[in-house]
Structure 1
Amino acid sequence: MLIPLVERQRGRLRVLEFIDFDVTDYNAPLIRREFAAELAMRDFSPIWCQILKSIGTMDAVSLRKMPSVIDGAPNPFTRLRCQNDMIGFNSPLKCGFNGYMKSRNSHMTRELRRSRRRLEALGSVELKVAHDAETAAKLMKTIISYKSAWCRATGAVDLLSRTAYADFYHSLARNEVGGIAHTSALMVGDHMIAGNFGIVLRGRFYGIIQSSDFENYRTYSPGSLLLVEIIRWCCENNISLLDFSIGSESYKARWADDEEQLYQHGQAFSITGMLLETHRRTLAGFKNSARKNPQLVELLRSVRTKVGKSVLVQQHRNHAG
């Protein structure tokens, strides 16, 4: 078993975490299926204590976004004392493209067909998939640009504005084109109105980044129309499951059929570590309560968007001044 852990300095705290740096959607050890099954029959806590002892001094442990199953094998870390974390969303595609689309809301599919016809009046509409590094780089540049613009408009954290994060995805898109990386765009003529970056692995499509030219094409539902074409591509290329990843974006309720509860585990080993652990548990409890109240989720999303817009207005005024 290989456990991708790192001890990070967070202020004055030394915290043991998974090596994901807020990029990875799912965190778990690399483990043989047989060994995972063996651990499932035992108490994992003594083994974990030995692992912590070998690592040495730290203030806290914070393990996030852990699935209970790893490619069919039980995850031993979710046998520790855990709390609910984020939720992953996915849809099986075994019924094929037509079968999947027939199971969607009829009003939504009618509106999408109408939006498609409106776009076709502007120019030819097609899915463009990168098959070489140069194309992947061009598409990824626009995908990141659109995503950053959306984050600024809604007040969401814009990780892609940080050079290291953007470079990571640029490198992955270029180096893995034709392999696990899938970079695509919905084109109207020569203009990209929406883009998607995903990972294709073991018959699954993992959606990582999706963005659109929402400032100019919002009324055409560009993101949803791109998603339709990605689903079509998946069905034509023997992809059995589309993973929408974590997050509570409203569109996932319309497209995803299944949910996967992820888990988090924390421990404290100092007074300051106890403060961090208390904060983690409190936040986890609040998020779990919020998920049971859709109105609260929408209110928080609306507040975040308004804050983002007010920041943009202030920045524009400062720039104009």
Structure 2
Amino acid sequence: MNKPSNTFDIAIEQAFDFLSPEYAALFGSSAATAFQHPLWLDSLYARLASHAGATPLVVVVRRRTTGALAMVLPLLRIRRGPIRTIEFADLRVSDYLAPVCSPEVFASLLEDEAACAEIRRLVRPFDLLRMTKLPDGRLPIESLLGAPRRVSMETNAYATVLVAPFEQWRASALDRSYQKELAKKYRQLQKKGALSFSCCDDSASISEAMDAMKQYRGPRFQAQDDGDLLQRPEYYSFYSDVAARGLGSFV
């Protein structure tokens, strides 16, 4: 039997409240991304998980002496045919996945062999531990779970560091031939009419924008694999919910 950690209490909380003040505070001080934001995860678990046949697997770590929230691992159990899979709460809507805690707490957990052993025990059983979309240079979740070190995929080329002014970034990040191609397309767009950008600032404009995106994306992606996610009621509901509830703050 594994010796329990003297520092942390670890448990699975399937009904964890991502809208709670304690999670908001943890997220605010963490190294997580926008795709672990309280609104994003609350809506993902509530609106998408059941449709995907996924079961919440939320690993919650608290300080033993105070009960304060120290880390949250938002995971899912998904059976794909005969394969029992454990993966981050993603369901094809998140670009970056990360544990929700500070670098300091994560380092303490890695040094706590009993805590690591308990986390690994709690996520079993599984046939496949699937950890994709892990940003480079972020917390090494694979060390916590006893998995091999991450390897970058060619598709991570979309990640870039943004600097101002835009002209300087464009010159350093894009080759000259691609800059010319984009400039040509921009001129073609201008010939079709004046371009303008604006923010949706109320529920009516959000609904209108969501409907326009759905109509535009449907025919465009119809021939690709299983089509566009926005055409599915549960995904349309998810994005609309996040947009409406995050108006003026997160979104």
The TM tier, using the shorter chain, reads 0.5 to 0.7
Correspondence list, 1:158-173, <5 A? 158-173=228-243
- 1:143 matched to 2:213? The reply is yes
- 1:19 matched to 2:84? The reply is no
Q: CA shift at 1:56, angstroms?
A: 5.2
Give the TM-score, by structure 1 length: 0.46
Distance 1:48 1:83, change over 3 A: same
Counterpart residue identity of residue 163, structure 1: P
CA contact (8 A) 2:143 2:149 kept: yes
Q: CA shift at 1:83, angstroms?
A: 4.8
Residue of structure 2 aligned with 1:134, choices 204, 217, 224: 204
Deviations 1:59-109 (A, max 9, x none): 443333223533xxx334256314536443223232312222333434444
Distance 1:121 1:30, change over 3 A: closer
Larger helix fraction of residues: 1
Structure 1 counterpart SS, 2:85: strand
Give the TM-score, by structure 2 length: 0.57
Counterpart residue identity of residue 53, structure 1: R
Residue of structure 1 equivalent to 2:74? 4
Q: CA shift at 1:35, angstroms?
A: 1.4
Correspondence list, 1:234-249, <5 A? none
Distance 1:52 1:92, change over 3 A: closer
Aligned equivalents of 1:173, 1:51: Cα separation in 2 = 33
- 1:99 matched to 2:173? The reply is no
Residue of structure 2 aligned with 1:84, choices 148, 151, 156: 151
Aligned equivalents of 1:133, 1:25: Cα separation in 2 = 25
Distance 1:90 1:57, change over 3 A: closer
Residue of structure 2 equivalent to 1:121? 191
Aligned equivalents of 1:126, 1:139: Cα separation in 2 = 14
After superposition, the CA RMSD in angstroms is 3.0
Residue of structure 1 aligned with 2:129, choices 44, 58, 61: 61
Q: Which has the higher contact order (CA 8 A, sep 6+)?
A: 1
Distance 1:6 1:114, change over 3 A: closer
Structure 1 counterpart SS, 2:163: coil
Aligned equivalents of 1:75, 1:120: Cα separation in 2 = 46
Structure 2 segments unaligned to the other structure (5+ residues): 1-70
Larger strand fraction of residues: 1
Distance 1:78 1:57, change over 3 A: closer
Residue of structure 1 aligned with 2:223, choices 147, 150, 153: 153
Correspondence list, 1:1-321, <5 A? 1-39=71-109, 42=111, 47-55=115-123, 57-70=125-138, 74-78=139-143, 80-84=147-151, 86=153, 87-88=155-156, 89-103=158-172, 104-155=174-225, 157-181=227-251
Aligned residues: 176
Share of identical aligned residues, percent?
A: 25
